[in-house]
Amino acid sequence: MHLDFGARMMPFGGYMMPMHYPKGILQEHLHCRKSAALFDVSHMGQITVKGLDAALQLERLMPTDLLAMKVGDGCYTFLTNKDGGVIDDLIVTRVEVDTFCLVLNASNKFEDLRHLSENLSNLSIQLDDRALIALQGPSASDILTSLASDLDSLSFMQSRGSRIGSVDCSVSRTGYTGEDGFEISMSPDRASEVVQILLKDERVAWAGLGARDTLRLESGLCLHGQELSIDITPVEAGLSWSISPSRCLGGSAEGGYIGSQKIIQQQRDGVDSMRVGLTAQGRAPVRSGTLLLNNFGKIVGKVTSGSFSPILNKPISMAYVDTGYASKGTKLFAKDRRGNRTLYTVPMPWVKKRYKRA
């Protein structure tokens, strides 16, 4: 189907994925911001974990108060290692009292499955063969609720079972563009039916991996393998907000998960490096891997992601810098093939998130 729509395909996470369609990344990005873009994210891992006391047992692997979650609610969280580093970031949803669905990154899902199986041997853990598509943008709600009216009441991170046409789906009000939108999970052999129904609406257009990356960057959202890794903690990434208060220092269920000692220590004492946003002179992006220097030529950071922002009409980047250089307006320098370039630290996100809150 992607080839029929003229997609340029490329390998990603073990799959052939659409990078962009004939109109290009810029137009796909802008269409998502003003209308509704459709993404095939079936490469993502969907893992079901179930069994007696599944919430309590999963809490040993992630810094999240799963016991307090209601059926149908989800949240953004992490699997952490013994040093507090991020094995993977994910969305976890409570499907039933003792059943959870985890949506994980494609390139990590088999390692995640191994990690879960090794640490939760008395639970049922299954990598599901499910398709996943994301409808994202300000028109997404009108489009989807016209097809399944029972979805209108969902708030950000909530999910429920529904039907689109004659297809049974699990629909979550989630996504990774910063826009309001939905992710729709279904049997792979019915995915094309759902896609064809959505594409009948003239407001819907395909978008590929290229636009997905520029959209998440504008919204200040991390990508595992770039802003997140086994060597970077959630605190260093500026994601302490995603750790449940009860699991933090002094909380009612303080720590208790793998790597919690390191993370709590960082929350208490601070970190040596921090994730920041950057803007650069000129129009060319400062790309991942570029070293950042201070006034004296000392290396004080490294760019993790960089692209041209279609909304701001200028290049933007994310980076990790030594804490002393993380405050707003700090002047830094990058040396790339264009020579020395000046950058300034700026707050994130660049584009305000438009999630539907409860």
Q: Mind listing the pLDDT tens digit for each residue in 209-252? A: 999 999 999 999 999 999 999 999 999 999 999 999 999 999 99
**Percent of the chain whose pLDDT exceeds 90:** 95
Q: Is residue 242 part of a domain?
A: no
The mean pLDDT value for 122-141 works out to 98
Q: Are residues 315 and 169 in the same domain?
A: no
Burial 118-127, CB ≥16 within 10 A → b, else e = eebeebebeb
Average pLDDT over the chain reads 96
Label the pairing between strands 99-104 and 45-50.
antiparallel
| pLDDT, position 335 | 81
* Cross-strand bridge partners of residue 273: 322
pLDDT tens-digit readout, 291-350: 999 999 999 999 999 999 999 999 999 999 999 999 999 999 998 776 789 999 999 999
Q: Is residue 96 part of a domain?
A: no
Q: Is residue 238 part of a domain?
A: no
Distance CA 237, CA 260 (A): 15
| pLDDT, position 338 | 67
Distance CA 257, CA 255 (A): 6
Q: Which CATH number characterizes residue 183's domain? A: 3.30.1360.120
Exposure of 323 by Cβ count < 10 A (0-12 exposed, 13-18 middle, 19+ buried)? middle
Give the 3-state DSSP-derived string for the chain, with helices as H, strands as E and coil as C. CCCCCCCEEEEECCEEEEEECCCHHHHHHHHHHHCEEEEECCCCEEEEEECCCHHHHHCCCCCCCHHHCCCCEEEEEEEECCCCCEEEEEEEEEEECCEEEEEECHHHHHHHHHHHHHHCCCCEEEECCCEEEEEECCCHHHHHHHHCHHHCCCCCCEEEEEEECCEEEEEECCCCCCCCEEEEEECHHHHHHHHHHHHCCCCEEECCHHHHHHHHHHCCCCCECCCECCCCCCCCCCCHHHCCHHHCCCCCCCCCCCCHHHHHHHHHHCCCEEEEEEEECCCCCCCCCCEEECCCCCEEEEEEEEEEECCCCEEEEEEEEEHHHCCCCCEEEEEECCEEEEEEEECCCCCCCCCCCC
Which amino acid, one-letter code, is at 231? D
Answering whether pTM is above 0.75, one says yes
Distance CA 302, CA 290 (A): 6
The mean pLDDT value for 171-181 works out to 98
| pLDDT, position 291 | 95
Which residue range forms the structural domain that includes residue 196? 8-42+130-218
In the predicted structure, residue 129 carries a pLDDT above the cut 70: yes
- 73 to 99, 115, 188, 252: CA distances (angstroms): 12, 24, 24, 21
Q: Are residues 26 and 134 in the same domain?
A: yes
In the predicted structure, residue 127 carries a pLDDT above the cut 90: yes
Q: Is residue 255 part of a domain?
A: no
Q: Are residues 298 and 187 in the same domain?
A: no
Q: Are residues 135 and 201 in the same domain?
A: yes
The mean pLDDT value for 260-274 works out to 97
Cα dihedral sign, 65-351-267-83: positive
**Percent of the chain whose pLDDT exceeds 70:** 99
Q: Are residues 282 and 149 in the same domain?
A: no
Domain boundary among 218, 237, 252: 218
Domain boundary among 173, 195, 218: 218
Domain boundary among 150, 183, 218: 218
Q: In the block, which residue shows the tokens 């790597």?
A: 259
Q: Are residues 284 and 208 in the same domain?
A: no
Which amino acid, one-letter code, is at 85? G
Q: Using an 8 Å Cβ cutoff, are 156 and 174 in contact?
A: yes
| pLDDT, position 150 | 82
Q: Which CATH number characterizes residue 283's domain? A: 2.40.30.110
Q: Classify the phi-psi angles of 178: left when phi > 0, otherwise alpha if psi is within -120 to 50, otherwise beta.
A: left
